[in-house]
Chain A
Amino acid sequence: MSSQPKQEWPLWEIFIRSKQGLDHKHVGSLHAADAQMAIENARDVYTRRMEGISIWAVESKYIHASNPSDAESLYDPANDKAYRHPTFYTLPDEVKHM
């Protein structure tokens, strides 16, 4: 079914929310036979010191990534639009709370 050699468990990417109110952040990967084992292993591998309160496991083969060699053309449209940032605008010092 997958291109992996039969005996090797699939690879999972692990994302951890370190605190209520924060985003899940990628912390690394691990091998596991299924999602439940991926989460249990992630608990042991990535949260031995209370680094997290919530774990996402995504099988690596489902991650689609942008191509680094496309970086220039992909991000170029944002490059010359300094007017999207508040610092672009010079206002008199008298303006408060803006």
Chain B
Amino acid sequence: MEKGLTDIFRDKIQKEIRIEPKDWMPEKYRQTLIRQISQHAHSEIVGMLPEGNWITRAPTLRRKAILIAKVQDEAGHGLYLYSAAETLGITRDEMYDQLHSGKAKYSSIFNYPTLTWADIGAIGWLVDGAAIMNQVPLCRSSFGPYARAMVRVCKEESFHQRQGFEILLTLGKGSPEQRRMAQDALNRWWWPSIMMFGPKDDESPNTIQSMQWKIKRFTNDELRQKFIDVCAEQVKLLGLVIPDKDLTWNEATGHYDFGPINWDEFWQVIKGNGPCNKERLETRKKAWEEGAWVREAASAYAEKIERKKALLVY
């Protein structure tokens, strides 16, 4: 081989040729992807909890069916992503272990509580909206299995955001209490959603490398600005107010200016001190541990059937 492995790899990245699991890749590329994809998977799985909280109390049968379908989609997203991560040589059990031991992170947005039905609207509009903003460029990520998983995820996300917006729209046209409830949800979910894009670019040391490897296509701040610009327009249709008095259209930049973000809160939640960190992790662990007998029973049953089949053959 005349060319070194590193050169071949770099060449592919340059030419937008996807990297596949069996291709040679730098160890750091592999590790970065394992971390990012597994964290993304964990976020989808933990993300089911705040919404699951409202399934039994959805106001109508229609809303309940929709919410179940959405939460089921999130489980699917987690599974696509775990599978993509496994192609890089980490096992499912290792990833669960990292989540349950607190070693692995997931999106800190899911450490906030869902206090009213309007929160389900705000989550769909803002949290899924921010996720879509993040995920659409990931469909072109340089790692094949990740990009393919994201294509599937993005197709499914769009209804998530629309159903959330529809909930807020309905509440916005409702009684004064319903309008108040919608505004209150927006007040609580706005800033955490803005923080979903991650730390500011100059505090995000991995961004440059990830952009060079084309794992990421836009910086955190670029995506955040895009999201704010879109929401600042959409909110007008809801008749609600984004809780940022500094939010103003800037003719010169062609973007909305926005107020300071409380990064202290962001880091606190990441460190485990958010309102629901403990509860979320406990719930996950409990589900995993209490499901152990089901996993064992299914394995035992599969083995029994195999044995019976073997007996029939010989």
Contacts and interface: CB of A to CB of B under 8 A. Distances in A.
Interface of A: 4-9, 11, 28-31, 33-34, 37, 44-45, 48-49, 65, 67-69
Contacts of B20: 68
A30 B80 CA distance: 8
18 contacts: A5-B91, A6-B299, A7-B292, A9-B295, A9-B298, A28-B80, A28-B84, A28-B152, A30-B79, A31-B92, A33-B299, A33-B301, A37-B302, A45-B76, A48-B73, A48-B156, A68-B20, A68-B23
Given A8-B93, A9-B295, A33 B83 contact: no
B30 to A, nearest CB: 15
B28 interface: no
A8 B94 CA distance: 10
Contact of B92 (A8, A28, A34, A44): A8
A91 to B, nearest CB: 35
A5 B83 contact: no
Place the interface of chain B in its size category: 20 to 34
A53 B149 CA distance: 21
Contacts of A67: 22
Given A28-B80, A28-B152, A33-B301, 14 more contacts: A5-B93, A7-B296, A8-B93, A9-B299, A28-B148, A30-B79, A33-B302, A34-B302, A45-B76, A48-B72, A48-B73, A48-B156, A68-B23, A68-B24
A36 to B, nearest CB: 9
Given A5-B91, A28-B80, A68 B22 contact: yes
Which label, helix, strand, loop or mixed, suits the secondary structure of the B interface?
Answer: helix
B114 to A, nearest CB: 23
B229 interface: no
Contacts of A69: 24
Nearest to B5: A69
Contacts of B184: none
A45 B80 CA distance: 8
A94 B127 CA distance: 63
Given A8-B91, A8-B93, A68-B23, A28 B83 contact: yes
A30 B305 CA distance: 20
A17 B131 CA distance: 30
B86 A11 contact: yes
A7 B93 contact: yes
| Leading 5 A-B pairs by shortest Cβ distance | A33-B298, A34-B302, A33-B302, A29-B83, A68-B22
Contacts of B23: 68
Interface string B23-48: 11000000000000000000000000
Contacts of A37: 298, 302
Contacts of B149: 28
A18 B92 CA distance: 28
Contacts of B24: 68-69
Contacts of B301: 33-34
Contacts of B93: 5, 7-8
